Amino acid sequence: MDLTFTSEELAFREEVRAFLATSLSADTRRKVLEGLEVSRDDTLRWHQTLHRRGWGGPNWPKEFGGTGWDPVRQYIFEEESAAAGAPRLLPFGLKMVGPVIMRFGNAGQQKRFLPRILSGDDWWAQGYSEPGSGSDLASLKTRAERKGDGYLVNGQKTWITLAQHANWIFCLVRTDPAAKKQTGISFLLIDMKTPGVTVRPITLLDGSQEVNEVWFEDVEVPLENLVGEENSGWTYAKFLLGHERTNIAAVGSSKRELARLKHIASEERKDGRPLIQDPAFAARLAQVEIDLMALEITNLRVLAAEVERRAPGAEASLLKIKGTEIQQELSELMMKAVGPYALPFRREVMRERSSGASIGPAYASPLAAAYLNMRKASIYGGSNEIQKNIIAQTILGL
């Protein structure tokens, strides 16, 4: 595999850089680069800016309104966007349910849903995990009973990211409780405004309410919102999870955070010696950079396979494991780099700042919250332990 960019690809990179320099607001850029909270409006505004440019679907084919970029151009775009401080585009519509609808949905569903994902008119959430059904997703219990021209849905989903902002949710539901657990599942699209849908926030360690419980009580879902065939949802779920795990690798944002870590560790401390000169710290920094370089090459190999229209397979599990381990290591090293200034939670820091208290460098304020939040990375999208089982079975043949 040739890892060097062609002259056309280098020209495309310059085009992306120029666009980012002129179109990304300074305030949003500052939030991302300093690790501060990015609001719903920040994310949506950037999504709509890209849509107006014709870049709303970087990973979508032209036939569905996307850019038609090959995987290398997609990679360049994501890497340059992360480096410039652009908000991460929400994957639930663009990289999860969108590709499922393209592959398995009917023409009516494609016409109805895909343009609104591209424009940002619809904000999607992912309704997979349940209490007791996380990594063992096929054990889910949310029921969808056929009633006339639709389904009556009852059950609970949990850890649903940003569901408080969503107006649609794609869900795995059990439509045949008598069947083998993987074969009795269907894939439904549910309007969050439907009576019977309740969203309850979950407060995380860092004080944020990023995830939620979503309850369904006699929620009526029309039959036209069933994707593909009834009881075939597990096939669509596996297709979607391959894309999700590839996305979780987040090579571009990790490269940005590595550069940020180096900058923080290069600051002169009270003893006059930057932490980056400490041999033990420098060794850990070098190791995470080497790991990230290897992850980047593996990610490019997966992208090259997608040129052949092959969905990511077990190699997506490799990306998920190593990508999340790198993200966690970077957040830990940043905490170490600033020492006690990283201890306060974000909400406490902002309160102290507003009162004029001196609590250290500004870049330290979000690090504790980021560290605590990043503990979830090795769990969501299928825990890393489960990914190792997948690799053992499908790649190593154990």
Cβ 322 vs Cβ 388: under 8 Å: no
**What pLDDT digit, counting tens, does each position of 256-313 carry?**
999 999 998 988 666 678 889 999 999 999 999 999 999 988 887 777 666 555 555 6
**What pLDDT digit, counting tens, does each position of 194-216 carry?**
999 999 999 887 778 889 999 99
What is the structure's pLDDT at 287? 96
244 flagged as catalytic = yes
Which has the closest alpha carbon to 384: 327, 339, 302? 327
Domain 124-232 has CATH 2.40.50.100: no
- pLDDT classification of 69: cutoffs 50, 70, 90: very high
From CA 117, how far away is CA 121, in angstroms rounded?
Answer: 6
Instruction: Note the Cα 338 to chain centre separation in Å.
Output: 27
Question: Are domains 124-232 and 249-394 of this chain identical in fold?
Answer: no
Q: Which two tokens stand for residue 206?
A: 């860092």
Q: Which two tokens stand for residue 70?
A: 């090959």
Rounded mean pLDDT, 105-109: 97
What is the structure's pLDDT at 357? 52
Q: Which two tokens stand for residue 393?
A: 């079975």
Place of tokens 């397979």: 313
* Residue boundaries of the structural domains of the chain: 7-89, 124-232, 249-394
Topology of domain 249-394 in CATH is Butyryl-CoA Dehydrogenase, subunit A; domain 3 (1.20.140)
Rounded mean pLDDT, 181-187: 92
Place of tokens 């006339």: 148
pTM recorded for the entire structure? 0.85
Cβ 260 vs Cβ 33: under 8 Å: yes
- pLDDT classification of 346: cutoffs 50, 70, 90: low
**What pLDDT digit, counting tens, does each position of 213-240 carry?**
999 999 999 999 999 999 999 999 888 8
From CA 52, how far away is CA 47, in angstroms rounded?
Answer: 9
Weakest-pLDDT range from 12-21, 28-37, 49-58, 155-164: 28-37
Using DSSP bridges, classify how beta strands 211-222 and 150-161 pair: parallel, antiparallel or unpaired.
antiparallel
What is the structure's pLDDT at 243? 62
Torsion of CA 191, 182, 244, 143, to 10 degrees: 20
Cβ 361 vs Cβ 355: under 8 Å: no
Choose the catalytic residue: 244, 257, 296, 329.
Answer: 244
